[in-house]
Structure 1
């Protein structure tokens, strides 16, 4: 997220709910089904707090060149605990 912005969402919320908490979109969501790559985020802290990564998401992230394991598709995440993410510039 932009420096200094903290968003609180209820546990279990999809990360897409973040758009209802701010006046301007912070994460660009496109298809919302994990197929477009618009919402790639780098997880700086709390990777395990964003739920399980399924094989299709992992494969797609690899296709996008995000192979080091610190990236997620925000549209595929459910917030289970605290996490810090940074939007990846396309």
Structure 2
């Protein structure tokens, strides 16, 4: 996201709801089902605040070469607390 951009979402909201909170397209979304990889984010802080990744998401991230455990698919995240993320290009 642009440096310093802060978006507030209600607890339990899917991270895809971010596009309803700002006119900017901060995170690119494609399929919204965890199959296209358009919404890969790097979690800078608050990894556990995005819910647990299921095995399908983890396997797909490995297929994309994102194996160090700091990446998620934004479309699969539910916001459970505060988190700082960076959109992966």
TM-score category (smaller protein): over 0.9
Is 1:47–2:47 an aligned residue pair? yes
The Cα of 1:26 is off from its aligned counterpart by 0.4
CA RMSD of aligned residues (A): 0.4
Q: Which residue matches 1:88?
A: 88
Partners of 1:56 and 1:2 in 2: CA distance: 29
Offset at residue 38 of structure 1 (A): 0.0
What is aligned with 2:78? 78
Q: Scaled by the length of structure 2, what TM-score is found?
A: 0.99
Other-structure match for 1:64: 64
Spell out structure 1 runs of 4+ moving beyond 6 A. Answer: none
Give distance in 2, aligned partners of 1:30 and 1:21. Answer: 18
Deviations 1:19-39 (A, max 9, x none): 001112100000000000000
Please name the residue that 1:35 is paired with. 35
- The total of aligned residue pairs comes to 89
| Structure 1 residues not aligned, in runs of 5+ | none
- Gaps of at least 5 residues in structure 2 are none
